[in-house]
Structure 1
Amino acid sequence: MGEANSLISPDNYWVLWAILIGWAAVAIILEQKYSWASKLSGAIIALLGALILSNTGVIPLESPVYDAVWTYVVPLAIPLLLFQSNIVKVWQESKRLLIIFLISTVGTIAGTIVAFFLLKTVIPQLHFIGAMLSASYTGGGVNFAAMATRFDVPQDTVSSTVVADNLLMVLYFFVLITIPTISFFRKRFGTPHIDEVESNGVNENAAKDYWKGKEIALKDIALAIGTAFVIVAISFSLAGFFSDLIPEDSNIFLTVLRGIIGDDYLMLTTLTLALVAIFPKYFENISGSQEFGTFFIYIFFVVIGVPASIPLIIQNAPLILVFAAIIVLINMLVSFSLGKLFKFNLEEIILASNANIGGPTTAAAMAISRGWTKLVGPILIIGTLGYIIGNYIGTSLGVWFTSLM
């Protein structure tokens, strides 16, 4: 994908790590120092910086360094961010989020069907693309990969669709994170979480106020990082064990069970919340876990902005981008119109749509960047459930679309 033409080679690990972590740090500093950056958010600054660096050929589009962020940094961030979660409150909030998430999923399905019938005569192998994107825009990249394997999609089609998917996800993330600052939406939807943040006197610089300094000892660092590593190791080992124990081609009940207890991130989220509920004092006494987890998430923001190659889109897949954009647009219209009809809060609608299109991690990251801390745990739980239903939606639509080609 053109990595050899970048100024920094994919195997120049130390320089790439320096850029990822360094730019994440710059995004946080700017967010906390300047009001314009706080309004834009450090998340967008991190994304845009990576987008510029990759599209100008400074850094490669692919590297083992980026894979390491997905493999190690993101899983560690999740338990760290959940150490202060109250399981009772999380469940109370999750029930509402589940409904709006399912409504948003209906938007994905409707968008995929409309886009398919509009473009099926002009985009080759659109039945495969529809299967991959409908699954991805319900759950996440895990579902995308599953559909690519399930339908044995040619590699060039997979690559073109991945590039279009990544670029659109970044653009939509930018749209969603900007919506709370637009008065049109603020006037028409309830915004209790935004109001709570603003009532604490953080109108001008939410990030600086929220992340004000706190006392932290070496013991806190040891407990936070050490506990996170242990939880991730146990969770992924358990998920792998159950995934191997239950065959893929089992009956529907066992397949659903395998998707629940055999999923790394669902097991990680569940185990973390269970441990926090069982040992609340232990986790409450760990200072700095939110800070560590959030910094890891900012590194993730930088990474997801890297693969969005605009030249590759123009060269290889402009119509695939249009196809994906139609799905996202209809998802947004369904989410916001029905969300308004059923009186959901603006924050809930935004995060539900984000969890559909970008997955639970990006949704949780957005909640963190905007200070909606009470929704971090719930959206992680609900978004992870999208991994389960995404494969069913992608497979169903893929089989149907194939019969129409």
Structure 2
Amino acid sequence: MEETASLIHPENYWVLWAILIGWAGVAIILEQKYSWASKLSGAIIALAGAMLLSNTGIIPLDSPVYDTVWTYVVPLAIPLLLFQSNVVKVWQESKRLLIIFLISTIGTVAGTIAAFFLLKDVIPQLNYIGAMLSGSYTGGGVNFAAMATRFNVEEGTISSTVVADNLLMVLYFFILITIPAVNFFRSRFQTPHMDELEKNGDSENQASEYWKGKEISLQDIAKAIGTAFVIVAVSFSLAGFFSNLIPEDSNIFLSVIRGIIGDNYLMLTTLTLISVAVFPKYFESISGSQEFGTFFIYIFFVVIGVPASIPLIIQNAPLILVFAAIIVFINMVFSFGFGRLFKFNLEEIILASNANIGGPTTAAAMAISRGWTKLVGPILIIGTLGYIIGNYIGTSLGVWFTSLM
């Protein structure tokens, strides 16, 4: 699958950085200045703009600049956003999120099985595609890559599936972020986080009200950015140490332990929360950490909208997109159906389903963009645990599907 040439070369780093950061800034300004943009959300504006730029051939679908955002910008955003988190409240919220996340995961499994039996005769190598997508739609891209390696999937199949996965994830993100504004859902689910925002905000524009100006000193900037870099460096080093210490082909118990303490993002979230709990006064004294972290997340929003290439889907993977869409639709039915049955909050259901389909980073980003700050830490923790579950689900389904081909 060859990428079509773009107006801006993938190695034109300064121009691409200018577009990513500039458009993230535009999305934030529009969100806070205009009520229509606030209702639509800056996240959607950032995503839509990136999709438009990539699908019209202005920016490339792939570039080292985008990899840099995933490698450095996103990890730095996570501790910055957790500096004001109370670990006790995080744990209290995590218990509920874990249950709805597991229900959503069952929806992914059911959707994969249903889609496989519907399309196994018309899509080649669907056993491997099912393994990759079921893993990805439980945890995230880490599981997709693991399943591709585990089953030695052909490069062409991987590429086509990646494109379908990216486009569908962005489309589903649009749907999930729009749901809170739809009366059908607001009238049928409890919405305590949205109700609190509306109660406390006197302004019609919630984004502008929430992010109103505050005093931030040079010392705050130094402490916020410097501390974030240190925590990321220590966390990733520790995760790498434990990952190398425990062999990949260990028994089930050691594999689970390796997946927990050897995962970069789970270690990063855990170490940040512990640091905040041990040194509360230090972190409380830092102003501006949420602002920095949120701006980094908006850059991430722009990047995840880039690979959603509609022409490549039409050319290479229309049936794979249908396969993935069935999985996502059944995941959504399970999440919202059982979520309403067991009286989960609308915010919890949306984030749990998002964490399944997009991973913990997209779920945390959505929580941030909607102002559900109390759920940022919990969904990062729960979503990261999905990385562990995803490998087992993907492997099990892949082996089973292969036996049926």
TM-score range, shorter chain: over 0.9
**Aligned residues of 1:3 and 1:10 also touching (Cα < 8 A):** no
TM-aligned CA deviation for residue 202 of structure 1: 5.2
Find the aligned partners of 1:22 and 1:2 in 2 and give their Cα distance. Answer: 28
Find the aligned partners of 1:357 and 1:278 in 2 and give their Cα distance. Answer: 34
Find the aligned partners of 2:368 and 2:37 in 1 and give their Cα distance. Answer: 16
**Aligned residues of 1:23 and 1:46 also touching (Cα < 8 A):** yes
TM-aligned CA deviation for residue 2 of structure 1: 4.9
TM-aligned CA deviation for residue 238 of structure 1: 0.3
Find the aligned partners of 1:152 and 1:212 in 2 and give their Cα distance. Answer: 51
* Partner residue in 1 for 2:398: 398
SS across alignment from 1:5: coil
Unaligned 5+ runs, structure 2: none
Write out per-residue CA displacement over residues 59-116 of structure 1, whole angstroms, 9 at most, x where no aligned residue.
0000000000000000000000000000000000000000000000000000000000
Find the aligned partners of 1:39 and 1:282 in 2 and give their Cα distance. Answer: 35
Write out per-residue CA displacement over residues 152-183 of structure 1, whole angstroms, 9 at most, x where no aligned residue.
00000000000000000000000000000000
SS across alignment from 1:335: helix
Asked if 1:295 is matched to 2:295, the reply is: yes
Find the aligned partners of 2:66 and 2:125 in 1 and give their Cα distance. Answer: 29
SS across alignment from 1:59: coil
Asked if 1:173 is matched to 2:173, the reply is: yes
TM-aligned CA deviation for residue 201 of structure 1: 2.2
Asked if 1:139 is matched to 2:167, the reply is: no
* Partner residue in 2 for 1:107: 107
**Aligned residues of 2:203 and 2:209 also touching (Cα < 8 A):** no
SS across alignment from 1:123: coil
TM-aligned CA deviation for residue 3 of structure 1: 4.7
Letter of the 1:262 partner, please give it. Answer: G
* Partner residue in 1 for 2:355: 355
**Aligned residues of 1:232 and 1:268 also touching (Cα < 8 A):** yes
* Partner residue in 1 for 2:340: 340
Over aligned residues, Cα RMSD in angstroms?
0.7
* Partner residue in 2 for 1:160: 160
Find the aligned partners of 1:206 and 1:169 in 2 and give their Cα distance. Answer: 26
Letter of the 2:197 partner, please give it. Answer: V
* Partner residue in 2 for 1:5: 5
Find the aligned partners of 1:286 and 1:98 in 2 and give their Cα distance. Answer: 30
Unaligned 5+ runs, structure 1: none
**Aligned residues of 1:31 and 1:207 also touching (Cα < 8 A):** yes
* Partner residue in 2 for 1:49: 49
Find the aligned partners of 1:202 and 1:208 in 2 and give their Cα distance. Answer: 11
* Partner residue in 1 for 2:72: 72
Find the aligned partners of 1:113 and 1:302 in 2 and give their Cα distance. Answer: 32
5 Å-filtered alignment, 1:1-400, equals 2-3=2-3, 5-201=5-201, 204-400=204-400
Change beyond 3 A, Cα 1:248–1:18? same
Find the aligned partners of 2:246 and 2:79 in 1 and give their Cα distance. Answer: 26
SS across alignment from 2:308: coil
Identity of aligned residues (%): 86
**Aligned residues of 1:55 and 1:311 also touching (Cα < 8 A):** yes
**Aligned residues of 1:3 and 1:9 also touching (Cα < 8 A):** no
Find the aligned partners of 1:244 and 1:135 in 2 and give their Cα distance. Answer: 22
Query: What is the total number of aligned residue pairs between the two structures?
Result: 405
**Aligned residues of 1:104 and 1:356 also touching (Cα < 8 A):** yes
TM-aligned CA deviation for residue 204 of structure 1: 2.1
Find the aligned partners of 2:85 and 2:365 in 1 and give their Cα distance. Answer: 15
TM-aligned CA deviation for residue 203 of structure 1: 6.0
Find the aligned partners of 1:232 and 1:190 in 2 and give their Cα distance. Answer: 36
Letter of the 1:160 partner, please give it. Answer: S
Find the aligned partners of 2:238 and 2:248 in 1 and give their Cα distance. Answer: 17
**Aligned residues of 1:31 and 1:38 also touching (Cα < 8 A):** yes
Find the aligned partners of 2:273 and 2:282 in 1 and give their Cα distance. Answer: 13
